[in-house]
């Protein structure tokens, strides 16, 4: 019997950790409730953190082949955007600390 050793990917920023395989967002190891589409948005933003994510690209990633109203996107992006802001803040802190050393 062959064993498959699949390496899992996690994304960590500040007190947060994202587990894409289990679709979990954790803050200090405690689950943070997110609607499924809000999780998809957050994951898309984190996976593309080095780039500007255009609205159309985000819509195609999260809602492929579906027309989405602006209000639906706005409702689903509020919490992921807060988490992304925390990510950018924590990256800036890390950069400042490494510059000081």
CA angle 30, 44, 88 (to 5 degrees): 70
- Cα(33)–Cα(27) distance, integer angstroms: 10
pLDDT tens digits, 24-55: 999 889 998 888 888 888 888 888 888 888 88
Identify the pLDDT of residue 95. Answer: 45
Query: Is residue 73 classed as helix, strand or coil in its secondary structure?
Result: helix
**Percent of the chain at pLDDT above 90?**
10
> pTM to 2 decimals?
0.64
What is the average pLDDT value for the chain, to the nearest integer? Answer: 75
Residues 6+ apart with CB under 8 A from 14: 86, 87, 89, 90
């Amino acid at each position: 019997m062959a064993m498959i050793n699949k390496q899992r990917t996690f994304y960590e920023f500040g007190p947060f950790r994202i587990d894409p395989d289990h679709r979990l967002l954790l803050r200090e190891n405690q689950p943070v409730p997110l609607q499924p589409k809000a999780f998809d948005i957050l994951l898309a933003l984190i996976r593309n953190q080095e780039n500007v994510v255009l609205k159309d690209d985000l819509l195609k990633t999260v809602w492929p082949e579906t027309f989405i109203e602006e209000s639906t996107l706005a409702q689903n992006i509020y919490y992921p955007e807060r988490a992304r802001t925390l990510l950018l803040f924590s990256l800036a802190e890390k950069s400042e600390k490494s510059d000081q050393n």
